[in-house]
Structure 1
Amino acid sequence: MSKIHLIALASLLVVHISGAQDAISIDKKFTKEIERLAKDKKVATAFKYIEQQKEQTTQDHIALTEILAAPFKEDKRGIAFAKLLEEAGVDSLWTDKVGNVIGLKKGTSGESGYVGIDAHLDVVFPEGTDVTVKKVGDTLKAPGIGDDTRALANLISMLKGMNKAGIKTDKDILIVGSVGEEGLGDLRGMKYIFNESGMDIDSWIAIDGGSMGRISNAGLGSKRYKLLVKGKGGHSWGAFGLANPHHALGKAIDVFSKSAWEYTSGDISKTSFNVGRIGGGTSVNSIPFESWMEVDMRAISPKNLDEIEEIFKSSVEKAINEYNSSGVEGEVTYELIKIGDRPSGELSSDIPLVQRSIAATEYFGGTPSLGTGSTNINIPVSKGIPAVCIGRGGSGGGAHSLHEWYVNDESAEESIKLALLITLAQAGLDK
């Protein structure tokens, strides 16, 4: 498995790209590499074909959007995506045991280590959501139209361009529609690929997020828990004084919030915490028998993430013990259920994959900006495997809402070319 991110670049020739939040350094050899690659006749042919199939890409985009891929229910969209991969032309095609749809484009060198590129199949919307695409002028409107369905269509267009131009690469390429990127999916698709599949992954490119130019080289980790507090329950008057799970939960929120706020306000890199959902109880005049809350904690630093998690656990234990000792009748019990665990990490901007992504973005006239996100690259980044997340292009808004929209402007096809160029640079163009 490649560890090139650990190798210091010996002689870095530096130029600064204006417009990014911080100055971004780029080795000129990667700028030259990208320029040479983009001028290759076969690559130029692929670029032209990507432009020519703009309408077909839009049709694929709409067709996939109108197949709802609710959390843990990606099967139907996966079947449709697999058919598009087959029609576009892959050397082999399979769906793994968790639902990832994987197309293999074989390389010529026999060198080990796959270069993977993916978009996620799932959306945040539950079963029953109306995902019919509505056209208003040049705007497409539907839940999931942008995040991340457009990126699936980009992969198909990229693959068609490669095959139309007869492009071969040195290394094998995996083109993947992944599952479980959103919410409680907890990156299960990527966790399977990197932890259980046995595949040797050299590097990974995820297409997610919006505009061209955004490059994530860091994974924002998160720990998510459901706290379940239980008691006997009873009538609000007749059983008054009985241990109340809601009251205990409120104390847990208070103790945790105070300790966590003190920690996150200290001299550490940004770390966050949030009580996002609470629930339980049957009526206003009943002492509940159950109360629950869901908590999200985030940090780029693995150390900070572990420490805020420990603060949460110790705060809950302290709060429940204090509540049970407060003079109430009986006691409450509690259970902590982990509902999300996304590892964090950050890769150096000097590694070849990040450098190539910066150079390719600049080649297409974009302004590169390195950043952090909670995406599929969290898994490879946490393992030290080179990975970036790039934008799908076009214009859009309203992600994760019923009024999500997308416009296929001039950056849309440029973003497909960008993904192709980065992939070819990483996999090596066979001459």
Structure 2
Amino acid sequence: MKKIYLGLLTFGLLANLIQAQNTISVEKKYTKEIARLAKDKKVKVAFGQIEEQKEQTTKDHIKLTEILAAPFKEDKRGVAFAQLLREAGLDSIWTDNVGNVIGLRKGVSDETGYVGIDAHLDIVFPEGTDVTVKKIGDTLKAPGIGDDTRALANLISMLKAMNKANIKTQKDVLIVGSVGEEGLGDLRGMKYIFNESGLDIDSWIAIDGGSMGRVSNAGLGSKRYKLLVKGKGGHSWGAFGLANPHHALGMAIDVFSKAAWEYTSGDISKTSFNVGRIGGGTSVNSIPFESWMEVDMRAISPKNLEEIEAIFKSSVEKAINEYNSSGIEDEVTYELIKIGDRPSGELSEDIPLVQRSMAATEYFGVTPSLGRGSTNINIPVSKGIPAVCIGRGGSGGGAHSLHEWYVNDEPHEESIKLALLITLAQAGLDK
């Protein structure tokens, strides 16, 4: 019995040690900083304003949801969002070369570097989708109602509250409705801001996700390709034996799947691969002249992402060469088209922005958890620029489906207050 007890004690100590190693540590100085901010008279006024305008925030939420923002077609929603920003009050508003709607709220100091906070304008649904909001009790239903339209309404509410409470920040703040977050948008809005706009970004806060608690400080990288295989095409009987793009594509899938599975099953951090879409052909009795597939590969490690990409490319080349050498008549050709490139990256939990985000989350009685996702912060994080992604709040489900729903079950609009506290902590509250 004594041996069993000692064994259990040792196991328990080990388990506690592992748990302690995985426990998120929030430094006291950031806990105190957030508490001081929350007690500031002007911040308290802003909190009250956020609660008072809850009904209007819901109206803004519905208004924006009912303006379809299909991939690469965000302009109409962008115009409406810009108007709401203008009505809320900003020093300047502009739409950049790719469609990001950017509002500037000037700080009082000469410190350089903007603090940006954004929600994305686009949703996954194509043109023609019915985005009429249906209200059933306290539940709002419509495609895109949660992801990420609610976050846009949160930004408007936060901005209004800052202005009504006459809050001044030390640094300039950018409030942004970004484009291209979803799917083949490939983070084009963030890529432009951080690579081409010339804006000096000090730090970035994205609102995208579910309820409060999760703080993403890492970006899950991905590589996406479209493989296009072409041949002459012909009749399935009369031209039998002619090179068939579908057959070549099938061989490419087989070769890649085997090599990729062996690689991802090895001793590496999590890496994935997926053939998500396949198409081509004209009829069941025709040899197709074209065949295509779309492939998604993801990895925590940038190195692993490069390696799985290399495996994909070499597998395709090997498969096509083998197929063309198999005795078929003529041959197929292929083209690899990159349709997505999201870099990986991770920030330490010790940096001020991450600490402030966790401390602010704790202030509202919620236990923070650090996470990784494929969001707008992938770009700044990959460059080492402080960035976090926080939730839009409330409850919801059915994301990316026609049955998406959202319930604002936060009586005191805590998620909007959370965004405000993090922004003020990062930009500095002027006394």
- 2:235 maps to what in 1? 235
Give the letter aligned to residue 53 of structure 1: Q
Conserved 8 A contact 1:104-1:173: yes
Give deviations 1:374-425, integer Å, cap 9, x for gaps. Answer: 0000000000000000000001000000000000111671000000000000
Q: Give yes or no for the alignment of 1:333 onto 2:333.
A: yes
Whether 1:417 and 2:421 are equivalent positions in the alignment is: no
Amino acid of the structure 2 residue aligned with 1:102: I
> CA contact under 8 A between 2:51 and 2:412: conserved in structure 1?
no
Structure 1 unaligned regions, length at least 5: 1-15
Q: Match of 1:288?
A: 288
Q: What pairs up with 1:160-175 in 2 under 5 angstroms?
A: 160-175=160-175
State the Cα deviation string for residues 257-305 of structure 1 (Å, max 9, x = none): 0000000000000000000000100011111010000000001211000
State the partner residue of 1:119: 119
Matches within 5 A, 1:51-70: 51-70=51-70
- Where has structure 1 moved over 3 Å in runs of 4 or more? 19-22
* Partner of residue 85, structure 2: 85
Work out the CA distance in 2 between the residues paired with 1:284 and 1:111.
Answer: 66
1:346 aligned residue? 346
- Maintained 8 Å contact 2:219/2:375: yes
Per-residue deviation, residues 219-249 of structure 1 (Å, max 9, x unmatched): 0010000000000111111111111000000
SS in 1 for 2:413: helix
Matches of 1:394 and 1:154, distance apart in 2:
11
How many residues are paired up? 414
**TM-score (norm: length of structure 1):** 0.95
Taking a change above 3 Å as real, the CA distance of residues 311 and 209 of structure 1, as seen in their structure-2 partners, is same
Q: Does 2:77 correspond to 1:95?
A: no
Q: CA deviation at 1:20?
A: 11
Tell me which moved more, 408-417 or 177-186.
Answer: 408-417
Q: What does residue 3 of structure 2 align with?
A: none
| Structure 1 residue 196, shift from structure 2 partner | 0.1
Q: Which runs of 5+ in 2 are unaligned?
A: 1-15
Measure the CA separation in 2 of the matches of 1:363 and 1:90. 28
In the superposition, relative to structure 1, how do residues 21 and 361 fare at CA in structure 2: closer, same or farther (>3 Å)? farther
| Distance across 2 between alignment mates of 1:309 and 1:336 | 12
Within 1, Cα distance between the matches of 2:94 and 2:319? Answer: 50
Report how far residue 367 of structure 1 moved.
Answer: 1.5
Give the TM-score of the pair, scaled to structure 2: 0.95
**Equivalent pair of 1:228/1:293 in contact (CA under 8 Å):** yes
Q: Which amino acid aligns with 1:54?
A: K
Equivalent position of 2:208 in the other structure: 208
Taking every aligned residue pair, what percent have the same amino acid on both sides? 89
Match of 2:429 in 1: 429
State the alpha-carbon separation in 2 of the partners of residues 300 and 67 from structure 1. Answer: 35
Q: CA RMSD in A?
A: 1.3
Alignment of 1:270-309 (within 5 A): 270-309=270-309
Q: Say whether the 8 Å CA contact 1:21–1:369 is kept in structure 2.
A: no
Amino acid in structure 2 at the alignment position of 1:311: I
Q: What is the 5 A alignment of 1:176-255?
A: 176-255=176-255
Q: Using the TM superposition, give the Cα deviation of residue 22 of structure 1 relative to its aligned residue in structure 2, in angstroms.
A: 3.4
Query: Cα–Cα, structure 1 residues 155 and 286, in superposed 2: closer, same or farther, change >3 Å?
Result: same
Aligned residue type for 1:295: V
